[in-house]
């Protein structure tokens, strides 16, 4: 099975940097996703890591360490619109028919 | 515009009254799936489909049915809804070949209340 842990809520200041952590224990691992979800809206894809290391995409970066079962999402130059829930999801074994397991999400509140 | 659409967006119904939530995508994706999202539990997959006429159970399939008669459509059927199926439902699709196949595109969600 899969078990994913991430903090329930975080707060940060506009313009700052915030790091959202995700740890996982899985019976098989084929990659880790980060999604952003604004209240009442659909999740939108942010990143996918399958190899160790840092992937940078604009203000957002995602890091993965497979040996530690650990990932983080780094948000720089925070804006008010970044207030949202951030979902960590692990892709298990199964090739094309994988069932991603989602964490419960981290609610990020950005204040002025 | 590439998108996943769901209907209805909001539905209030009574226990036992059969309902169908439709899902359609215009990206020619092979893979489609249904999730439910509940407070404190995160997104959980109900059913998925790898292609036309190929469906399989996700983590929480009890009380739900699906069908995939056409590539673009993947309706979710609740034959006899119960209050514990009150939830926010999302349909999603992705490709399985010919490019990045890991990114799922989600529909706008259907908020279902069963009284």
In angstroms, the separation between the Cα of residue B79 and the nearest Cα of chain A is 24
Q: Would an 8 Å CB–CB cutoff place B50 in contact with chain A?
A: yes
Give the one of B31, B102, B106 whose C-beta lies nearest to A42's C-beta.
B106
What confidence score (pLDDT) does residue B99 get?
A: 64
User: Residue A87 pLDDT > 90, yes or no?
Assistant: yes
Q: What is the pLDDT of residue A97?
A: 56
**Closest to A63 in 3D by CA, of A89, A34, A105, A86:** A34
User: Residue A45: its pLDDT value, please?
Assistant: 92
Over 90: is that where the pLDDT of B90 sits? Answer: yes
Q: Is the pLDDT of residue A96 over 60?
A: no
Cβ atoms B2, B103 nearer than 8 A: no
A69 pLDDT more than 90: yes
Per the model's pLDDT, the better-predicted residue between B63 and A29 turns out to be: B63
Rounded to the nearest angstrom, the minimum Cα separation between A45 and chain B is 6
Are A71 and A51 a contacting pair, CB within 8 Å?
A: no
Is the pLDDT reported for residue A1 higher than 70? no
> CA–CA separation, A58 vs A16, rounded Å?
15
Phi, psi of B83 (to 5 degrees): -55, -30
Q: Which of B7, B14, B9 is nearest to B83 (CA)?
A: B14
Residues in chain A closer than 8 A to B109 (CB atoms): 40-42
Best B106, B108, B110 member to test A by mutation, with max A CBs in 10 Å, is B106
Mean pLDDT of B99-115: 89
Give yes or no for a contact between A42 and B109, defined as CB atoms under 8 angstroms apart: yes
Strands (E), chain B: 4-7, 10-13, 19-25, 31-38, 42-51, 54-57, 65-66, 76-78, 87-94, 105-106, 110-114
Task: Please write the tens of the pLDDT for every residue from B28-80.
Answer: 999 999 999 998 888 999 999 999 999 999 989 999 999 999 999 999 999 99
- Report CA B57 to chain centroid distance, whole Å: 12
Contact assignment for B109 to A33 by CB distance below 8 Å: no
Residues in chain B with CB shorter than 8 Å from the CB of A44 are: 106
DSSP A20-75: EEEEEEESS-S-EEEEEE-TTS--EEEEEE-SSEEEEETTEEEEEETTTTEEEEEE
Q: How confident is the model at residue A29 (pLDDT cuts 50, 70, 90)?
A: confident
CB contact under 8 A, A104 and B45: no
Instruction: State whether A96 and B50 contact (CB < 8 Å).
Output: yes
A96/B96 touch (CB, cutoff 8 Å), yes or no: yes
Antiparallel, parallel or unpaired: β B110-114 and B10-13:
parallel
- pLDDT at site A112: 95
| 3-class secondary structure, A18 | strand
Q: How far apart are CA B10 and CA B6, in angstroms?
A: 10
**Chain A environment of B104 (Cβ under 8 Å):** 43, 45, 100
Q: What is the band of B102 on the pLDDT scale with cuts at 50, 70, 90? A: confident
Q: Check residue A107 and give its pLDDT.
A: 97
Q: What is the mean pLDDT of residues A18-43?
A: 92
């Amino acid at each position: 099975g899969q078990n994913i842990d991430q903090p329930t809520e975080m707060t940060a200041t506009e313009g700052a940097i915030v790091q959202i952590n995700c740890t996982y224990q899985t019976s098989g691992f084929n990659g880790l996703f980060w999604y952003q979800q604004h209240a009442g809206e659909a999740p939108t894809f942010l990143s996918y890591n399958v190899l160790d290391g840092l992937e940078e995409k604009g203000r957002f970066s995602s890091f993965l360490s497979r040996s530690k079962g650990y990932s983080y999402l780094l948000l720089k130059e925070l804006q008010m619109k970044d207030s949202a829930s951030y979902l960590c999801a692990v892709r298990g074994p199964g090739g094309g028919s994988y069932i991603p397991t989602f964490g419960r999400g981290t609610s990020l509140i950005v204040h002025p | 515009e590439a998108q996943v659409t769901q209907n209805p967006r909001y539905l209030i119904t009574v226990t036992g009254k059969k309902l169908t939530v439709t899902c359609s995508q215009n990206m020619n994706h092979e893979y489609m799936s249904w999730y439910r999202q509940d407070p404190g539990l995160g997104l959980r997959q109900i059913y998925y489909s790898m292609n036309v006429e190929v469906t399989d159970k996700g983590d929480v399939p009890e009380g739900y049915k699906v069908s995939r008669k056409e590539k673009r459509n993947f309706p979710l059927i609740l034959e006899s809804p119960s209050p514990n199926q009150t939830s926010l439902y999302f349909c999603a699709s992705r490709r399985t070949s010919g490019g990045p196949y890991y990114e799922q595109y989600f529909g706008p969600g259907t908020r279902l209340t069963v009284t």
